[in-house]
Amino acid sequence: MTGVTDPWLLAKQAFSQGELIAYPTEAVFGLGCDPRNEAAVQQLLTLKQRSPDKGLILIAADYSQLIDFVADQRIPQDKRYGVFSQWPGPVTLLLPAKETVPTWLRGQHDSIAVRVTAHEPARQLCKALGSAIVSTSANLTGQPAFKTVADVRQAFGDQIGWIMEAPVGSLAKPTQIIDPIRQTIIRE
């Protein structure tokens, strides 16, 4: 009898070993890693040539995967509907970060950028990993983001431990970023 292999096994191995992963998001390919692994996050920042001061986005399959990072009790009651009615969907929200969230994730901010994605491949990846993941566009900072597996492979090659073979979503540009507490749009 042949055993059925977990189709997510290689993704889980790469993630748990601190390797970088690439996966499709709503508009572009994303690069990510375990948000609890400082060495992996630093490797990602170096690869992208991205300043750690900016902070990073975390994506998740559901809000429960973000609760270790978000200071939920600091979301005002009158803003909660505005927060949770956005998800799942292509909207990244700036929410209060827990005091335990390191600066290598949140940058020089007291908030953290988070999204409960509705893009099914990315959602399934978060479910399979049982974790939120760091999500930043697959590109060098300031360059156009990649939209295909072939482009990601050509640009980053063996610097990526696992690449998800699935298409990006239909959004024309990266997700909107909103601060629902201050009611401001950070990125259209």
pLDDT digits (tens, 9 = 90+) for 56-78: 999 999 999 999 999 999 999 99
Q: What is the pLDDT of residue 1?
A: 45
Q: Which residue has the higher pLDDT, 89 or 7?
A: 89
Q: Considering its fold, how many domains does the chain have in total? A: 1
Neighbours of 165 (CB within 10 A): 8
The pLDDT value recorded for residue 176 is 87
Domain-embedded: residue 3: no
Full domain range(s) for residue 109 = 9-187
Within a domain: residue 2? Answer: no
Q: What is the pLDDT of residues 95-107, one digit of tens each?
A: 999 999 999 999 9
In a domain, 85, yes or no: yes
- 4 domain residue, yes or no: no
96 within domain boundaries: yes
Binned at pLDDT 50, 70 and 90, residue 7 comes out as: confident
Res 170 pLDDT > 90 = no
What contacts 34, CB < 8 A, 6 or more positions away? 15, 16, 18, 40, 131, 133, 134
Q: Is residue 169 part of a domain?
A: yes
Question: Domain holding 128: CATH number?
Answer: 3.90.870.10
Cα–Cα dist 3/116, whole Å = 33
pLDDT for position 182? 87
Question: pLDDT tens digits for 127-137?
Answer: 999 999 999 99
17: confidence class by pLDDT, cuts 50, 70, 90: very high
